[in-house]
Amino acid sequence: QKEVEQNSGPLSVPEGAIASLNCTYSDRVSQSFFWYRQYSGKSPELIMSIYSNGDKEDGRFTAQLNKASQYVSLLIRDSQPSDSATYLCAVNNNAGNMLTFGGGTRLMVKP
Amino acid sequence: DTEVTQTPKHLVMGMTNKKSLKCEQHMGHRAMYWYKQKAKKPPELMFVYSYEKLSINESVPSRFSPECPNSSLLNLHLHALQPEDSALYLCASSQVSSATGELFFGEGSRLTVL
């Protein structure tokens, strides 16, 4: 069973703190990894993609990938109340446009 | 502003009605998708079109019928739906690539079946 797992949360962090969101996946052949942000009542929006082991930084966001441990994470530095949303981890196994989403982690950033 | 446009934004229909959801993108993407999302759940893939041909059908009931008239348009025809089909229906597009997961979603069509 190919799965992508996330803690559903809510993860509550104070404003200005680092939020750490985690995701594990079961299919070892997965090659592409993505983080989507979804505000309540809105559609998902891609915020980060990562394809190789290590860290990838984009502004306040850092994606981390460890293929040996089948683990991908998203760090949000200097968290803002506007970061409050559900974050969806998604994994592509390169088998013809098949993207598997995790259940999402709800993040709450408190002022 | 999203570059994937979905209409209508809201739709209420009875179980005997026939309606359609429409999606349009002008990013030159050759893969288009329909997802269904229930509250507090992740998007669930329904159909994938690649170069206007249906490439993935995730065992969706026949009361949902997709159509891709051209590379920019994607429709989802609805007939004889059930109340449990009430959900947010998301259209997305992407480059056609075996490594892609970079989807651009529309704002969704919120469907209520009475």
B18 residue type, one letter:
K
Q: What angle do CA B33, B39, B42 make, to 5 degrees?
A: 45
Segment B15-24 shows an average pLDDT of 95
Segment B39-65 shows an average pLDDT of 91
In chain A, which among 77-96 make CB contacts under 8 A with chain B?
88, 90-92, 94-96
Segment B83-97 shows an average pLDDT of 92
Judge whether residue B2 has pLDDT over 60: no
Segment A43-62 shows an average pLDDT of 96
Q: Which residue in chain B is spatially nearest to A32 when comparing CA positions? A: B99
How sure is the predictor about A22, in pLDDT bands with cuts at 50, 70 and 90?
very high
DSSP helix/strand/coil, A33: strand
DSSP helix/strand/coil, A12: strand
- Which of A58, A87, A97, A106 to probe the B interface (max B CBs under 10 A)? A97
Least confident of A32-36, B25-29, B40-44, B93-97: B93-97
Q: CA B96, CA B99: separation in Å to the nearest integer?
A: 9
DSSP helix/strand/coil, B1: coil
Q: Any idea what DSSP says for residue A53?
A: S
Q: How many CB atoms lie within 10 A of CB A56?
A: 15
B65 residue type, one letter:
S
Q: Is A18 on the interface with B (CB under 8 A)?
A: no
Q: How many CB pairs under 8 A join A and B?
A: 64
Residues on chain A touching B41 (C-beta within 8 angstroms): 103
Judge whether residue B100 has pLDDT over 80: no
Q: Which residue in chain B is spatially nearest to A106 when comparing CA positions? A: B40
Identify whether the C-beta of residue B76 lies closer than 8 Å to the C-beta of residue B61.
no
pLDDT digits (tens, 9 = 90+) for A57-84: 999 999 999 999 999 999 999 999 999 9
Judge whether residue B16 has pLDDT over 70: yes
Radius of gyration of chain A, Cα coordinates, nearest whole angstrom? 13
Run of H or E residues at A11: strand A11-14
Q: Which residue in chain A is spatially nearest to B5 when comparing CA positions? A: A43
Residue A28: predicted pLDDT: 84
Tokens 């999302």 map to which residue? B37
Q: CA A79, CA B77: separation in Å to the nearest integer?
A: 42
Residues on chain B touching A92 (C-beta within 8 angstroms): 99-101
Residue A98: predicted pLDDT: 77
Q: What angle do CA A89, A96, A29 make, to 5 degrees?
A: 60
Judge whether residue A52 has pLDDT over 70: yes
Q: CA B21, CA B32: separation in Å to the nearest integer?
A: 14
